[in-house]
Amino acid sequence: MEYKITLRKQFRALRFLIVGSILFSIAIYTFFSKVGYDPDIALFFFIYYLAELVPTLFVHIEYYLINKNDLFTLNSIQRTFSFDDRDAISFDQIEIIVLVLSPVMYRDSNLRFFPFDSYHYAVIIMKDGKRFVITNLMTFRIDLALKDVSGVQIERRRRFIASPSLYRFWSAVWN
């Protein structure tokens, strides 16, 4: 199976943000048309919207930059994968796969609270130290795509925002 970033997959990842933005705009318009415009309430709505928009766009752009030209090919029958049309790599050479999920994805729930809840990624760590990163812009559900990788330990980690750069930042700050 081949996985890569497409425009359709990007819109699917942003679907909750797009639909939420439309509904949020309608709700604000309806609220202000009935109650009247109040700058304090408008500021609250603006800050609330930015608190959801900025992290989502940050993670989306980060994922895009990580995998923008990548092609991940998985062959579960031959037990191999390739990244960017390089030579096939055997599953036996994989040390571990780390799947980083938001709390909602970690629980395998369909109930989303934030637009960035559906973003997740996997790091394939090889025995020789090489690492390959697959984001959900390549395949909407990485956990389902990797279920056919047999004989390899898959470690699931929960992060409020599944961002590799934020994780590195906070790891550096707290260590």
Q: What is the pLDDT of residue 136?
A: 93
Helix (H/G/I), strand (E/B), else coil: 165 = helix
Q: List the beta strands (DSSP E) in 30-93.
A: 72-75, 80-83, 89-90
Model pTM score: 0.86
Q: What is the mean pLDDT of residues 30-53?
A: 91
Q: What is the mean pLDDT of residues 20-25?
A: 92
Question: pLDDT tens digits for 72-104?
Answer: 999 888 999 988 878 888 999 999 999 999 999
Question: pLDDT tens digits for 150-168?
Answer: 888 999 999 999 998 877 6
| In the predicted structure, residue 39 carries a pLDDT above the cut 80 | yes
Exposed / middle / buried, residue 3 (Cβ in 10 Å: 0-12, 13-18, 19+): buried
